[in-house]
């Protein structure tokens, strides 16, 4: 079901203000423009024709930007399919690393460096605890997904990590996590070590990059404990896949959460997790909504989904094969040829015709921002008018 309101509509209605806004940088403005014109004539498009009934269908191209609410479905499905092929028949833990809100200013000023430090420190914690004989004594892995937002679109950088309940020993044997996979590592110990290592890394960054940071800010980071959150393990690979579907290609706000748009305000649904998951509707001035949305546009080329250890691109081939042998599991069947062609950007597969409901749609032609040829456009208009007449009768 298509949402009633879209982020693109807010951007279109305030584009002149966005162009003049001093709190939106050039890269953010470029990204917002891609979202604004997504699936419009500005990006060109294509026309498909049904081989059975001759129905013509006009479709505009997508921007394919990773921050776009309209473009994440296909990319998410491709990524999940690839991860399904790597999953082992063991339990997996969901671990969340969150940094102090006192660092939001530094995250806004230096997002690339701060978020890289978050990835680096989080993996170092998981790796160190896993290699410790008191906890596991094995080489493990994880994949991590960066989220920078809270439900109200404020800045809230945190890392969602998926970690297998075990790892490979030095001799290539699979070692299960303590308590038959019901327990990963002590979260209180992880929390204190995470804070200490992150602050230590931050001090080095400040020194190397010569950031003008007040020492009192760094000292205040030790006033309250940082909490590493570890959920109960996923029971099976199906739960892991469902989790991936919710978190991997999620963006700051989906179109479905927007409940109303006026000339000056935007309203959207949200959950207040600090007060028992209380649900409500938040209304913001349009430019404040856009400013908050823009805060979560990542730097150019920044990788927000990363793989580590035995799940990294350099290790997972041999490591996963060894782990499967140890666990007595077989590799999943290879992708069907049509799936592989589609995931690698091959020719578009035939789609179902919305008119005769047969899988017979094929690409007729593609066009750029200047639009389709006039004769094709006339045929499309005539077709749409005939459809309206039939519906009316």
129-175 pLDDT, tens digit each = 999 999 999 999 999 999 999 999 999 999 999 999 999 999 999 99
DSSP 8-state secondary structure symbol assigned to residue 275: G
Distance CA 304, CA 147 (A): 8
Q: Is residue 2 assigned to a domain? A: no
Residue whose entry in the numeric block shows the structure tokens 């290699």: 131
**Co-location of 218 and 361 in the same domain:** no
**Co-location of 317 and 197 in the same domain:** yes
Q: pLDDT tens across 6-31, in order? A: 999 999 999 999 999 999 999 999 99
Q: Which two tokens stand for residue 342?
A: 């589609």
Query: What is the average pLDDT across 360-373?
Result: 82
Distance CA 32, CA 248 (A): 21
Q: pLDDT tens across 307-357, in order? A: 999 999 888 888 989 999 988 877 665 544 444 444 333 344 468 888 888
Q: What are phi and psi of 228, to 5 degrees?
A: -95, 120
pTM of the model: 0.86
Q: Is residue 286 assigned to a domain? A: no
Q: Which two tokens stand for residue 104?
A: 């939001």
**Co-location of 184 and 241 in the same domain:** yes
**Co-location of 91 and 161 in the same domain:** yes
Specify the number of domains making up the chain.
Answer: 2
Residue 125: which domain range? 72-252+296-332
Q: Which two tokens stand for residue 381?
A: 């208009």
**Co-location of 208 and 320 in the same domain:** yes
Q: Which two tokens stand for residue 337?
A: 């040829």
Show Cβ contacts of residue 142 under 8 Å, excluding neighbours closer than 6 positions: 95, 123, 126, 161, 162, 163, 164, 307, 308, 309, 311
Assess whether pLDDT exceeds 80 at residue 244: no
Alpha-helix runs per DSSP H in the chain: 7-13, 15-20, 26-36, 72-84, 104-109, 111-131, 187-209, 215-220, 237-247, 286-295, 316-327, 337-343, 374-392
Residue whose entry in the numeric block shows the structure tokens 């989790």: 243
Query: What is the average pLDDT across 358-376?
Result: 81
């Amino acid at each position: 079901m298509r949402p009633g309101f879209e982020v693109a509509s807010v951007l279109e209605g305030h584009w002149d203000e966005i162009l003049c806004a001093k709190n939106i940088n050039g890269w953010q403005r470029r990204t917002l423009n891609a979202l604004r014109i997504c699936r419009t004539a500005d990006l060109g498009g294509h026309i498909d024709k049904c081989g059975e009934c001759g129905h013509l269908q006009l479709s505009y191209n997508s921007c394919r930007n990773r921050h776009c609410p309209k473009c994440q479905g296909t990319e998410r499905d491709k990524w999940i399919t690839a991860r399904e092929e790597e999953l082992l028949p063991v339990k997996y833990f969901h671990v969340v690393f969150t940094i102090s809100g006192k660092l939001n200013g530094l995250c806004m000023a230096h997002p690339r460096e701060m978020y890289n430090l978050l990835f680096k420190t989080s993996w170092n914690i998981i790796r160190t605890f896993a290699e410790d004989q008191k906890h596991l004594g094995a080489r493990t892995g994880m994949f991590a997904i960066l989220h920078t937002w809270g439900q109200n679109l404020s800045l809230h950088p945190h890392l969602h990590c998926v970690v297998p309940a075990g790892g490979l020993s030095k001799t290539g044997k699979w070692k299960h996590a303590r308590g038959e996979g019901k327990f990963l590592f002590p979260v209180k110990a992880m929390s204190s070590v995470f804070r200490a290592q992150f602050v230590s890394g931050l001090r080095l960054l400040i020194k190397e990059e010569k950031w003008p940071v007040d020492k009192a800010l760094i000292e205040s980071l030790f006033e309250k404990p940082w909490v590493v959150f570890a959920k109960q393990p996923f029971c099976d690979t199906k739960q892991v896949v469902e989790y991936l579907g919710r978190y991997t290609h999620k963006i700051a706000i989906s179109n479905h959460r927007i409940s109303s748009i006026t000339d000056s305000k935007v309203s959207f649904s949200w959950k207040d997790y600090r007060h028992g998951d209380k649900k409500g509707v938040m209304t913001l001035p349009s430019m404040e909504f856009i400013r908050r949305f823009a805060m979560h546009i990542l730097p150019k080329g920044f990788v927000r989904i990363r793989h580590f250890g035995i799940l990294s691109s350099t290790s997972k081939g041999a490591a996963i094969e060894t782990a499967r042998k140890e666990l007595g599991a077989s590799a999943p069947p290879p992708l069907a040829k049509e799936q592989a062609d589609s995931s690698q950007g091959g020719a578009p597969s035939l789609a179902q015709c919305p008119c005769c409901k047969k899988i017979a749609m094929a690409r007729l032609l593609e066009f750029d921002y200047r639009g389709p040829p006039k004769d094709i456009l006339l045929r499309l208009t005539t077709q749409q008018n005939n459809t309206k007449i039939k519906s009316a009768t």
